Amino acid sequence: MRLLKYFLGVVVVLSAIWVWAARSDRYPDRYLLVADHVWSPGLIDADAVLVDNGEIVSVGRAAELDTDGAVPRLEFPGKTVLPGLVEPHTHPIASALLGAVVDVSGFNHQSRAEVMQSLTEAAGETALTPWLVAFGWDPVKIADIEPPTLAELDAISPDRPMLILTQMLHEAYANSAAQKAAGLPLSHGAVLRELDEVNAATSAIPPPAPEVVEMLLRQQYQAYARAGFTTIGITGAVGRHADPVGLLRKVGQDSSAPLRTYLYLTDEQAGDVGLHDPAQDRFAILGTKLWVDGSPFTGGAAIAMPYEDTHLVRERLGLAHDHSGPDLGDPESFADKIVELHAAGHQIALHVQGERAVDWGLNGFARAQELYPNPDLHHRLEHNALITQAQMTRAVDLSVSLGFFVDHITYYGHRLPELFGPDRAGRYMPAGAAQQAGAVVTLHGDHPATPLGPLLTLKTAVTRLGPDGAVLSPEQALSVEDALTAMTRNAAIQLGQGGRFGEIAPGQRADFTIFSGNPIETPPDQLDQLGVDRTIIDGQPADLRPLWLSRPGLMLRVAASVVF
């Protein structure tokens, strides 16, 4: 009996400790947020924000907002409060899954030998699936990385299927076992250049257990929040899961989710899932994502003039001297698709890199607005690597926002002249010209194509520094204020949420990102050295508890799936 009482006492104590540890932090419903600086587009001389029930009541000087000291204060000395950062173009399921496979990226490898060593070491390890999947093969960033031969991959993994995805996810390499499992011929060696082949190979991979994918996705949401984001726009519900839209809805609608989620469906999904109310608090489906061309770093950009005739283009990428990207097909059929989606009220996000792809997008948008005028429906052009001045002007006339993937400069700026020549490299990702043209300019990271790092994106937009320290077309740089506006107010506008969040202004949601210092006063080349202290969504701290505390049931199901 005494032993039983002792045991029960231990259980009670441990339960109490777990309940205490599992609780989430909570701020008062009404409080004054005080820091050294409060920054928002157009805001001058503020150090405090009054918050009530998740909404911003007023902003200004602390002494003026709380004259009698009656309001509870949250003090952040030395810090700067900004509107919550918005990532308008990302892929969280793919990021979550590829973050759990073998890393062979140029971000963490300097040579082909290092990459092959990582593959060899991983060949016998347990993974999410029976296949050996690697991500990040990068013939542009890693100087000596020639394509792997079928014999090399078969030697590393003779029986276990192996698939290596390139960094931009537009090509892959597979061993014999993987190609046989996918029903592909072995006649072309290890390389899979056609998108149909890549899709066939990835579709043959046995998917991880659904509860494992949910766990990884929830962890990815926390990673976005730790990086400083309070909102993400998902441009295509892609990722190995039986119901990716349903999974994103489940996680995004969770009241404890650390992010707001705005989703664009793929074309295949658009007929299956209807649009949701864009004013929904934490999760909404806005429209459809379409791909017009591919990656500049695989020859997939639909450009007006051919790629340069260089060793990188000929030998490393395997492109002909007159290659100018893919044949885009029938422009009438594409425009008809744009009109159909527009007429149904879908906001359309188009992946465009080259000038020909941009023209297709603008022509489709112009026809759609002519046939079905809707001044409240503002479409999007994504990436815009080589968009021209005339195209930017036309985009402004059509109220089309322009999202720029400046991380290309961060990691590949030194190789752009070899791909496109000095003149085109000089206008690559022309965010500055777009700003001057009056466009709604946003910045994105397109994860998992590049690592999660909004402060590095901010630095590149302002400095245009490439990996070799050279500045690429400084006239295309944004000011710090304009770059931050692109990552806050403009990104909210692009998602159709302008006025709800994206600024620190009365009536908007109390979403904040708190930096360790003041980005306006930080030297531009040191912006990526700032830290993110925390994020706040709807006036409360983002829930970043370990999943075993916040989601014990999910973690038990994950453990069961692994064991059984």
The predicted-structure confidence for 214-251, as pLDDT tens digits, reads as follows 999 999 999 999 999 999 999 999 888 889 999 999 99
Round to whole Å and give the CA distance between 359 and 398. Answer: 13
Q: Residue 522's CB: how many other CB atoms inside 10 A?
A: 21
Least confident of 21-30, 67-76, 226-235, 333-342: 21-30
pLDDT band, very low/low/confident/very high, at 22 (cuts 50, 70, 90):
low
pLDDT band, very low/low/confident/very high, at 24 (cuts 50, 70, 90):
low
pLDDT band, very low/low/confident/very high, at 15 (cuts 50, 70, 90):
very low
Percentage of residues in the chain having pLDDT higher than 70: 93
The predicted-structure confidence for 330-364, as pLDDT tens digits, reads as follows 999 999 999 999 999 999 999 999 999 999 999 99
Axis-axis angle for helices 552-563, 210-227 (nearest 10): 130
β 401-404/380-383 pair status: parallel
Round to whole Å and give the CA distance between 234 and 219. Answer: 16
pLDDT given at position 563: 61
β 540-541/191-192 pair status: unpaired
Peptide bond into 41 cis (omega under 30): no
DSSP 3-state of 518 = coil
* 173 touches 153 (CB < 8 A): yes
Question: Closest Cα partner for 83 from 370, 499, 545?
Answer: 499
Task: State yes or no: pLDDT of 46 exceeds 80.
Answer: yes
Task: State yes or no: pLDDT of 327 exceeds 80.
Answer: yes
Least confident of 280-289, 379-388, 443-452, 525-534: 280-289
* 115 touches 109 (CB < 8 A): yes
Give the position of tokens 């996810």: 169
DSSP 3-state of 251 = helix
Round to whole Å and give the CA distance between 505 and 16. Answer: 41
Round to whole Å and give the CA distance between 399 and 216. Answer: 37
Q: What share of the chain is helix, strand, coil (3-state, %, to 5)?
A: 40, 20, 40
| CA 224 to chain centroid | 9
What residues have CB less than 8 Å from 344, skipping those under 6 apart? 275
User: What domains does the chain contain, in order, with CATH numbers?
Assistant: 94-204 (3.10.310.70), 292-340+354-475 (3.20.20.140)
Token representation of residue 199: 């899709």
Task: State yes or no: pLDDT of 17 exceeds 60.
Answer: no
Buried residues in 407-426 as b, exposed as e (16+ CB within 10 A): bbbbbbbbbbbbbbbeebbe
pLDDT given at position 274: 62
Task: State yes or no: pLDDT of 23 exceeds 80.
Answer: no
Round to whole Å and give the CA distance between 139 and 150. Answer: 17
* 542 touches 534 (CB < 8 A): yes
Task: State yes or no: pLDDT of 166 exceeds 60.
Answer: yes
Round to whole Å and give the CA distance between 104 and 145. Answer: 11
Token representation of residue 46: 């503020």
pLDDT band, very low/low/confident/very high, at 512 (cuts 50, 70, 90):
very high
β 162-166/48-52 pair status: unpaired
What residues have CB less than 8 Å from 400, skipping those under 6 apart? 361, 362, 365, 378, 379, 380, 381, 439
Round to whole Å and give the CA distance between 29 and 152. Answer: 61
Task: State yes or no: pLDDT of 404 exceeds 70.
Answer: yes
Per the DSSP assignment, residues forming a β-bridge with 81 are: 38, 514
Tell me the residue type at 278. Answer: P
Q: Over the Cα atoms of the chain, what is R_g?
A: 25
The CA-to-CA distance between both ends of the chain, in Å, stands at 36
Residue 8 is classified by DSSP as H
Residue 79 CB-density burial (10 A; 0-12 exposed, 13-18 middle, 19+ buried): buried
pLDDT given at position 276: 62
Give the position of tokens 């930096």: 515
